[in-house]
Amino acid sequence: EYLRREMRRFIDRHFSRDNGGLMKALVVGDMGGVSRVARAEFTAAGVNHVLSISGLHVGMLGLVVFWLIRFGCSFSSALLLRWNLLKVATFFSFLAVLFYTALAGAAVPTVRSAIMIGVYELAVLLDREEEVFASLALAALLIALVWPGVITDISFQLSFLAVLFIVWGLLKAREWFPPRRREELPQERSRLRQWARQAGMHLAVPVLATIGTGPLIAHYFGHLSLAGFVANPVIVPLVGFAVVPLGLVIGFFSLVAPPLALPLVWLAEPLLSLTFAMVRFFSRLPFANLAVPVPNLAEVAGLYLLILTVLLLRRNRYSAIVLAAVVLGLAVDGAYWWRERYGRKELRITHLSVGHGDAAVVEFPGSRVLLVDAGGSATGEFDTGEMVVAPFLRTRKILRVDYLAVTHPRVDHYGGMRVVLEQFSPSELWSGPGRGRTARYQDLEDAAERSGVKRVSLNSSEPCRSVDGVKLCVLHPGPGTTGEASLVLRLTFGRLSVLFAGDIERDDERRIAESRAELSSAVLKVPRHGSLTSSTEEFIGRVRPKLAIFSVGRRNPFGLPREEVLGRYHEAGAEILRTDQDGAITIETDGASLRYSAYRSGKRGKAGL
């Protein structure tokens, strides 16, 4: 740890901020200096694995040390006669790998690589046959024994899958395209063909890694980067063979002779700048960072089964039957989701658990989608849009949200909206007459302007609109209202109505009642999270809800919902559901009856209308 700390200090003093942050990540495994923007660019370019020290860096360092020692010792006839240079280079290569693993903090991918390289090089030293799959299995076993919980770690899963598919894929490629016979005549050999074969193997590595990790990356992140196919063959050699070895040499000299490290810093700076420039270029390619529907675990298993079936395919009847069965299963799953997205006959509403805030996804019959609020925290440290709303949408195979509605210009309603605005291409952004006064609200306004989304200011004088057979009416605010008035939306499908009451208070409830608007609704999103400033007996009596949904955070500092308010809904005969206790709440209706289910508590029920 002392060596890591001293190297970090030297890098901080002598490198520019961005280049120094990247160098620290590559040499000592410290990601703290890599900006959020830079991480996003590396991810979009499909080379984010470069930022975390793993088998890529460890393996390339081992190769560099192996080549340097073998090349340097080859000039000494005494060494050539006395020692086996292959074993000498292998031994010192492994020492370098161990040192780098310790220096990088011994993270799981680094330890996995060190074990695999150690087993492989031990076989060389003992004149045994090298077995890659055995070393991979041993690495997995040892890591699982030392850190049992690591099996559920994303980096552990992706790291092993990437190596497994790279090795397996290259072995299959050798079977399908065997090398030329060694006994062929010199005039039959083609150097161009050999180079083409090596280039093909080099280009196959990122393709195999993407195929091997793609289903799991889609499951965890909802994004895939096809730019990695062209970016990896360029970025990986630059970082692995130039930047990392140079960084380690700089780190070594920074400890023993700092003046000798300074000329190397001048050499490393342009290499790091070049790395950033190339990553930025690849991240802006049209096929970089594609949003994809999130496959569930069964679908992930099906995709891997399809890949393995293709890799193991034999020219016989049984292989064809297995492949046909897998393809048929995935086709049935695809047909189900196609119907869910584009052929729905029911209205589906999901109130998400976003802490102290509101967020509801409305899936209309057909294919259109409305997002009513997106939650948000006061500090902004937890982005509900990125961490809750967007993953849920992709899990439902939703890649486009047609309408966004901000019912109230407070952060617990709009805080997560920017991510959805930027990633889901909405057509319209609805809001009331009020505008927030905070910098975060201005960020949302700026994002809306950049996206070109149509801004729609709603009030109760607007005629009701119809969306895929669902009647949508604005009950509040009235025309001419100023200030932070909350939107109130009422959706009607068949005989069912759902009321989104936003953050209205007593006076707003009274004004809505005086307007003689129809309020009766089977489902009510309770106003103001169950505060005493709303949900009067008169309002509840007018609505007569069968389900009262409280969107609140667990152990929130406001003590919401209040017991008095809960009592009012109990007395009105409403079934109470709370996102803090029940989790996400889903309501489905055909217009004649409704079904509801709660994700966390498992509550389920039906109601006639």
Per residue, the 3-state secondary structure of 574-607, as one string, reads CEEEEHHHHCCEEEEECCCEEEEEECCCCCEEEE
**Residue 410: its pLDDT value, please?**
92
The DSSP annotation for 455-496 comes to EEE--TTSPPEEETTEEEEEEESPTT--SSPPPEEEEEETTE
Q: Give the mean pLDDT of 576-602.
A: 95
**Residue 179: its pLDDT value, please?**
63
**Residue 273: its pLDDT value, please?**
95
pLDDT digits 0-9 by tens, 299-344: 999 999 998 888 777 666 777 888 899 999 999 999 999 999 998 8
**For residue 194, pLDDT beyond 70:** no
CB 22 within 8 A of CB 8: no
| pLDDT band of 298, cuts 50, 70, 90 | very high
pLDDT digits 0-9 by tens, 232-266: 888 888 887 888 889 888 988 888 888 888 999 99
| pLDDT band of 600, cuts 50, 70, 90 | very high
Q: d(Cα 596, Cα 599) in Å, to the nearest integer?
A: 10
**Residue 364: its pLDDT value, please?**
97
| pLDDT band of 60, cuts 50, 70, 90 | low
Exposed e or buried b for every residue in 464-487, given b needs 16+ CB within 10 A? eeebeebebbbbbbbeebeebbbb
pLDDT digits 0-9 by tens, 86-137: 788 888 888 888 887 777 777 766 777 777 777 777 777 777 666 677 777 7
**Residue 131: its pLDDT value, please?**
67
- Top pLDDT among 505 and 308 is at 505
**Residue 186: its pLDDT value, please?**
54
Q: d(Cα 307, Cα 597) in Å, to the nearest integer?
A: 35
Q: Give the mean pLDDT of 11-23.
A: 90
| CA-based radius of gyration for the chain | 30
Q: d(Cα 441, Cα 437) in Å, to the nearest integer?
A: 7
CA angle, 583 then 586 then 591, to 5°: 160
pTM given for the model = 0.81
Amino acid making up residue 605: G
**Residue 233: its pLDDT value, please?**
83
User: Of the segments 162-171, 232-241, 429-438, 454-463, which one has the largest average pLDDT value?
Assistant: 454-463
| pLDDT band of 170, cuts 50, 70, 90 | confident
Q: What is the mean pLDDT of the chain?
A: 86
Closest of 404, 414, 406 to residue 441, by C-alpha: 414
**Residue 361: its pLDDT value, please?**
98
**Residue 152: its pLDDT value, please?**
79
**Residue 155: its pLDDT value, please?**
73
Percentage of the chain beyond pLDDT 90 is 46
The DSSP annotation for 242-271 comes to IIHHHHHHHHHHHHH-HHHHHHHHHHHHHH
Range of weakest confidence among 102-111, 491-500, 530-539:
102-111
Closest of 520, 539, 517, 519 to residue 528, by C-alpha: 539
Bridging pattern class, strands 547-550 and 575-578: parallel
pLDDT digits 0-9 by tens, 216-231: 989 998 888 888 888 8
pLDDT digits 0-9 by tens, 406-452: 999 999 999 999 999 999 999 999 998 888 888 899 999 999 999 99
Biggest CA-to-CA distance, the chain: 103
User: Of the segments 12-21, 113-122, 346-355, 439-448, which one has the largest average pLDDT value?
Assistant: 346-355
Alpha carbons within 13 angstroms on the beta-carbon side of residue 316 total: 4
CB 487 within 8 A of CB 474: yes
Q: d(Cα 375, Cα 352) in Å, to the nearest integer?
A: 9
Amino acid making up residue 209: A
Range of weakest confidence among 67-76, 141-150, 186-195:
186-195
CA angle, 321 then 165 then 22, to 5°: 150
**Residue 80: its pLDDT value, please?**
67
Q: The CATH number of 347-608 is which of 3.40.50.300, 3.90.180.10, 3.30.9.10, 3.60.15.10?
A: 3.60.15.10
Q: d(Cα 231, Cα 588) in Å, to the nearest integer?
A: 45
Task: Name the 3-class secondary structure at 560.
Answer: coil
**For residue 462, pLDDT beyond 60:** yes
**Residue 180: its pLDDT value, please?**
59
**Residue 363: its pLDDT value, please?**
97
**Residue 415: its pLDDT value, please?**
94
Q: d(Cα 248, Cα 240) in Å, to the nearest integer?
A: 11
Beginning with the edge strand found earlier in the chain, give each strand of the sheet holding 496-500 in spatial order: 465-467, 470-476, 488-493, 496-500, 523-525, 547-550, 575-578
Q: d(Cα 404, Cα 131) in Å, to the nearest integer?
A: 55
Angle between helix axes 2-14 and 17-27 (nearest 10 degrees) is: 160
Q: d(Cα 446, Cα 388) in Å, to the nearest integer?
A: 22
**Residue 492: its pLDDT value, please?**
97
Q: d(Cα 28, Cα 42) in Å, to the nearest integer?
A: 19
Alpha-carbon torsion, ordered 7, 10, 16, 19, to 10 deg: -10
Range of weakest confidence among 62-66, 271-275, 307-311, 417-421:
62-66
Q: Residue 177: which residues within 8 A CB-CB, separation 6 or more?
A: 197
Q: Please say whether the dihedral angle defined by the alpha carbons of residues 86, 92, 98 and 102, taken in this order, is positive or negative.
A: negative
- Top pLDDT among 277 and 380 is at 277
Bridging pattern class, strands 347-351 and 290-291: unpaired
**Residue 181: its pLDDT value, please?**
54
Domain ranges across the chain? 1-46+226-282, 56-152, 153-178+190-224, 297-340, 347-608
**Can you give 268-329 as a three-state secondary structure string?**
HHHHHHHHHHHHHHHHCCCCCCEECCCCCHHHHHHHHHHHHHHHCCCCCHHHHHHHHHHHHH
Q: d(Cα 157, Cα 571) in Å, to the nearest integer?
A: 51
Percentage of the chain beyond pLDDT 70 is 92
Give, for 193, the enclosing helix (H) or strand (E): helix 191-221
Give, for 401, the enclosing helix (H) or strand (E): none
- Top pLDDT among 182 and 26 is at 26
Range of weakest confidence among 204-208, 463-467, 519-523, 570-574:
204-208
Task: Name the 3-class secondary structure at 28.
Answer: coil
Closest of 253, 248, 255, 260 to residue 95, by C-alpha: 248
**For residue 176, pLDDT beyond 60:** yes
**Residue 456: its pLDDT value, please?**
94
